[in-house]
Amino acid sequence: MEIKLGFGSVPKPQYVFVSREADHCWYMLSEEQRHIPIYDKALTGVITKIECNKKVETTYGETEKTDLHILAEQPYIIRSGRDSYFSKTLLLSLDILTSEQLHQPLTIVVSPGDKKVVFCTIYNPITYQAIKINWDEHNEIDLLSLEQKVSQKINQLQKPENAANTDIRGIIIAQTDTYLKQLGWNPEQGRRYLQQKYGKRSRRELNDQELIDFIMEIFEILCTQENRLLMSNLAG
């Protein structure tokens, strides 16, 4: 995404809220606190942090929330009620994922249930495979223990404040290595792409926003290639 100079909105993470409505399951808030529906069901990005059992002041008093931080074309924070079906299915899915999987882009999907219920499903955006969870014993979940386990696994990526950005950049660069190998690009092809797109020869020369754009662009190219291969196999 190109940096826009001049006046504009405050550069801060965009909160996304979960709510079962007639035609959508999540929304954002405008500066006037007006609901802005999000009709897409999926958000794809890199999970960078989770905050569980977070105390938040609302118009109805203090309540407990789960905040999931995702780096996509911009930073997002998905906020849901701590005891909600969405939060519990989110945590159960994250608990299954390995540290290696958590380093890669994932797709968070909202699935409407009965009445006001919203479930969360996590997908691998390349294989289209959903993370399968066991929901049969959801009433017996030790929520506090599950929150602590998932938080420790995800937030271990967060080092001391002065090193956090470097760690996240390293994760993104390592993931682009994987995508470039899957694309079959050699180092020179990657350098040519960087030179043409950003006027730079190395990913380490990219600023934070350019690096995010780069991994999302490579990811989209890979998905397009995978889809073409799938359609070719089906046609054959």
Angle CA 96–88–216, to nearest 5? 60
Angle CA 178–182–187, to nearest 5? 70
Task: Determine the residue type at 8.
Answer: G
Quick: pLDDT tens for 58-117: 777 889 999 999 988 788 999 999 999 999 999 999 999 988 888 888 999 999 988 889
Quick: pLDDT tens for 180-231: 888 888 888 888 888 888 898 888 888 877 888 888 888 888 777 766 665 5
Residue with tokens 């519990």: 88
| pLDDT for res 100 | 80
| pLDDT for res 65 | 96
Give dist(CA 126, CA 104) in Å, integer. 10
Most confident of 107-111, 154-158, 232-236: 107-111
| pLDDT for res 50 | 94
Give the chain's mean pLDDT. Answer: 84
Given a cut of 50, whether residue 166 has pLDDT beyond it is yes
Q: Where are the alpha helices (DSSP H) in the chain?
A: 85-96, 99-102, 143-155, 161-183, 187-198, 208-235
- Which of these ranges, 71-75, 133-137, 150-154, has the smallest mean pLDDT? 133-137
Mean per-residue pLDDT, 128-148: 87
Report the side by side order of strands in the sheet with 35-38.
Answer: 35-38, 26-29, 14-18, 75-81, 61-71, 42-58, 106-112, 118-123
Three-state secondary-structure class, residue 186: coil
Mean per-residue pLDDT, 135-160: 80
Using a pLDDT cut of 90, give the percent of the chain over it: 39
DSSP state, 160?
A: S
Domain boundaries, the chain: 14-155, 161-235
